[in-house]
Amino acid sequence: MASVQMTEVRKSFGAVDVIHGIDLKIEDGAFVALVGPSGCGKSTLLRMIAGLEETSGGEIAIGNRVVNDLTPRERNIAMVFQNYALYPHMTVAENMGFNLKLAKKPQAEIDARVSEAARMLGLTPLLDRRPSQLSGGQRQRVAMGRAVVRKPQVFLFDEPLSNLDAKLRVQMRSEIKGLHQKVRTTSIYVTHDQIEAMTLADHIVVMHGGRIEQQGHPMELYRRPANLFVAGFIGTPA
Ligand code: ADP
Ligand code: MG
């Protein structure tokens, strides 16, 4: 695990500035929700942390290492998306261990890490199944398992539950929370769902138009929103 620190991070696509100088410190082991309306720059910010998108300015540090020039693999971060692609021809165990195999880890270590992650996520009875034999929630858990086995310094979640139905979403929320309580890996969780943010995170960052409007403890934002935008976004759940 590690802290994540952003200093004056900017991003433009061509002539369009989408991130306007973000300063943000995320504590080691924290679970932070990044919220804001569609198009405000949440995914772009995550992708810059992951190294999938270059910064146009500023500095990103993970632990005490500046990572701007590191490849995604060197950053040791795992990202969980909504469109998690599992390999249909591989079993659950093979899907979970695939990244470790690419990294040429010994098979015994892969097996050990896969069974540990499977235990954590309740996937042990499903290890020999193929993705087509799983429910949507089970597939999402396998996608998380694939991230967990890598023992990353940081988890990045980009609206991982938005494809699931309401009931499953609530269930997966508590699984994600339980997982964080077990592994304590620093987590940044992007969502446009303020209830999800309030229930999962101990710190919420509200973004709007490529800037941070306010950040703090969920109840602090709820009780003392800094402006009308935050009040509208956090205060009155849809
Ligand atoms: P969010 O995840 O909050 O919905 P995004 O980070 O996806 O927002 O997008 C922020 C802004 O950047 C949007 O206006 C989007 O159109 C723009 N954008 C994102 N990716 C690209 C890209 N590859 N090229 C050009 N514009 C982009
Ligand atoms: Mg997005």
Determine phi and psi for 127, rounding to 5 degrees. Answer: -60, -30
Helical packing angle, 166-183 and 136-148, nearest 10°:
20
Please tell me the number of the ligand nearest to residue 160's CA: 2
Ligand number nearest to the C-alpha of 35: 1
pLDDT at residue number 236:
57
What's the Rg (C-alpha) of the chain? Answer: 18
Kindly list the strands in the beta sheet with 4-13, ordered across the sheet, starting from the edge strand earlier in the chain: 16-26, 4-13, 57-62, 65-66
Please, are residues 161 and 172 in contact by the beta-carbon 8 Å criterion? Answer: yes
| Residue 170 per-residue DSSP state | H
The preferred substitution site among 18, 22, 49, 158 for testing ligand 1, maximizing ligand atoms within 8 Å of CB, is 18
Q: Specify the pLDDT at position 52.
A: 94
The amino acid occupying position 164 is: L
What would the pLDDT profile of 61-76 be if each residue is shown by its tens digit?
999 999 999 999 899 9
Tell me the C-alpha distance between 25 and 94, whole Å.
36
Could you tell me if 9 and 56 are in contact, meaning their C-beta atoms sit under 8 angstroms apart? no
* Ligand 1 atom nearest residue 207's Cα: 3
What's the pLDDT at 157?
A: 94
Ligand nearest to the CA of 34: 1
**Residue 1 CB–ligand 1 contact under 6 Å:** no
Positions of the chain with pLDDT under 70: 236-238
Ligand 1 near 44 CB (within 6 A): yes
Which atom of ligand 1 has the smallest separation from the CA of 44? 6
Tokens of 201: 């995170």
Q: Is 206 in the pocket of ligand 1 (CB under 6 A)?
A: no
* Contact assessment for residue 41 and residue 21, using Cβ atoms and an 8 Å cutoff: no
The Cα–Cα gap between 64 and 4 comes to 9
| pTM of full prediction above 0.95 | no
> CA-CA distance, 149 to 92, in Å (whole number)?
12
What is the Cα–Cα distance from 135 to 119, expressed in whole angstroms?
18
- Ligand 1 atom nearest to 210, measured from its CA: 10
76: left (phi over 0), alpha (psi -120 to 50) or beta: left
**Would you say the CB of residue 39 lies under 6 angstroms from ligand 1?**
yes
